Chain A
Amino acid sequence: MSRTRLGLSGWIAVTVLTLLVAMAIFAPLITQHDPNTGDLLATHAGPSAAHWLGTDGTGRDNFSRLVYGARTSLLGPTLIIALSLLVGVPLSLLSAWRGGSVAFVINRVFDVLFSIPGLLLGILMVATFGAGLRSAVVALAIAYLPYVGRLSSAAAERERRLPYVQALSVQGHGATRINIRHMLPNLAPLLAGQATVAFAYALLDLAALSFLGLAVQPPQADWGVLVNDHDAIYQGHPIGVVSAAVMIVATVLSLFVLGSKISGEER
């Protein structure tokens, strides 16, 4: 990826995302308040020097909850996308390489998974294995498999027909080597762009599950949990909710912009 091609919006997106990741990593250095212990004498306080974004209904510092919330909010989607790439990419390479009945079976599996909305699969998994981040991450990883898989198997099929792949095959290289050492690096920009956009959707779906109380559990700070602070909304102190909303929208928007820049570069 070269510098010039990102453009202004691309650079803004990269900057926002870098700041967010830094915020998640260095959370304890950025805020001195504990995100989970509140000062019951100062509930629903407005913004002040001590509490930049005020406090919530139990006197917890909104700003620290936002900063620490970046950790779960970014880690969850990272795991989801990593898992679905780890399973989806080998499956789509296999489908593209073998074609025929192998491709047929893999594509039907993708079709069926595609027919079950991610949110619903998450709810079903939670019904089965209990609420929590782990069930939600596994469920969404499965739900994102067809998104990753369909696009990348279409791309892998195109790549497989290119003369350089045939040339390598004629030369005597094995299928595994051609797939891993040649096809994969060439598909990487496309996969990266796709994974970036899928990351944004995974973040939204995971936050929605947390919002429903099914993924990240309440005392823990998470943007999806913070947005769901009904107490603050109904009492007319929405600052914590609004700032979590801004974080989610800014992150997702940056990921969309970056994703389209990355895949737009694809040769």
Chain B
Amino acid sequence: MSEPCTPTDDVVVEVEHLVKCYGTGPVVVDDVSFQVRRGRTTALVGESGAGKSTIGAILSGLASATSGRAVVCGEDRSVAARSARDRSRRGRQLQLVPQDPYTTLDPTQRVGAALLEAAALRGVPRDQRPARVAELLDLVGLGEAHADLVPRSLSGGQRQRVAIARALATRPEVLVLDEAVSALDVSVQAQVLNVLNRLQRDLGTAYLFVTHDLGVVRQIAHDVVVLRAGQVVEAGTVDAVLGDPQHEYTQLLLASTPRPGWVPVAR
């Protein structure tokens, strides 16, 4: 059982020349390379169909790459996990927070039970699991009373926090957040982003933030990779890319994003 990443290892996700096509269809991801560093957030932006979610799916083990490498904590994930053991080991390195807060949780399972189950994956001893659940709920700003609720009685923002808490239960090095706040109202979005920023500061978790929303990118990301039709058109720090976009596609994306209204959040 390999312990995820060595503390000196700064690059936790390394994607190199990644290519994905389905059957004989079009190339969805076309020679993409980028990195995600410890304690930092890389945003993957682009319109729908740009291939960003496919990259998230390959990294989280839902799909295999056609060629290229997708290395997480030193392990190549270009082939989808076959066994539960593989998935469980990979789950300790990287976790996925999917888009829709209404369908990512088992509707019949109480919040506490979901978190207990996730904590068990990390091998937390049985008697310490309740404390771990309380800690996880606290991390995402929920109270212990929420443990007894089923997803139906939670709001969208609360559900997404539960999904984040569940992902954190395995103490991953990386979280892939696939449009994780896109379905939420702007004010709720800000709350969840605040939680994410605080968690990163406290735990040092790296985020790969998949989104189409440049406003959100400004609030959370350090680095940004702009994708178009499966190819990287521009990459760099958020300040560099969004402050002085070189590629006309990035300029176009920026122009279609309403600039005013976003509030910088303390990182």
Contacts and interface: CB of A to CB of B under 8 A. Distances in A.
Contact of B84 (A163, A166, A175, A181): A175
Give the interface centre of A162, A164, A182, A267 by most chain B CB atoms within 10 Å. A164
A167 B108 CA distance: 15
A164 B106 contact: yes
Given A163-B98, A163-B100, A170 B106 contact: no
Interface in B48-101: 60-62, 84, 87-92, 95-96, 98-100
B103 A164 contact: yes
Contact of B95 (A163, A171, A186, A188): A171
Interface of A: 162-164, 166-175, 181-182, 185-186, 188, 267
Nearest to A189: B108
Give the interface centre of B90, B96, B163 by most chain A CB atoms within 10 Å. B96
B26 to A, nearest CB: 23
Q: Size range of the interface on B? A: 20 to 34
A174 to B, nearest CB: 4
Contacts of A267: 107
A167 B163 contact: yes
Given A163-B103, A166-B62, A167-B96, A172 B84 contact: yes
Given A182-B109, A185-B108, A170 B60 contact: yes
A188 B106 CA distance: 13
Contact of B106 (A172, A174, A175, A186): A186
Contacts, number: 66
B155 interface: no
A163 B99 CA distance: 9
B103 A186 contact: no
| Chain A contact residues: helix, strand, loop or mixed | helix
Interface of B: 60-62, 84, 87-92, 95-96, 98-100, 103-109, 117-118, 121, 163, 166-167, 170
B210 to A, nearest CB: 14
A28 to B, nearest CB: 40
Contact of B118 (A166, A171, A188): A171
Nearest to B86: A172
Nearest to B176: A170
Contacts of A172: 84, 87-92, 121, 170
A172 B143 CA distance: 26
Q: Please provide the 6 A-B residue pairs with the shortest distance between their CB atoms, ordered closest to farther.
A: A172-B91, A172-B88, A174-B84, A185-B108, A163-B103, A172-B87
B105 A164 contact: yes
A186 B61 CA distance: 25
Contacts of A163: 98-100, 103-104
Contacts of A171: 87, 91, 95-96, 118, 121, 166-167, 170
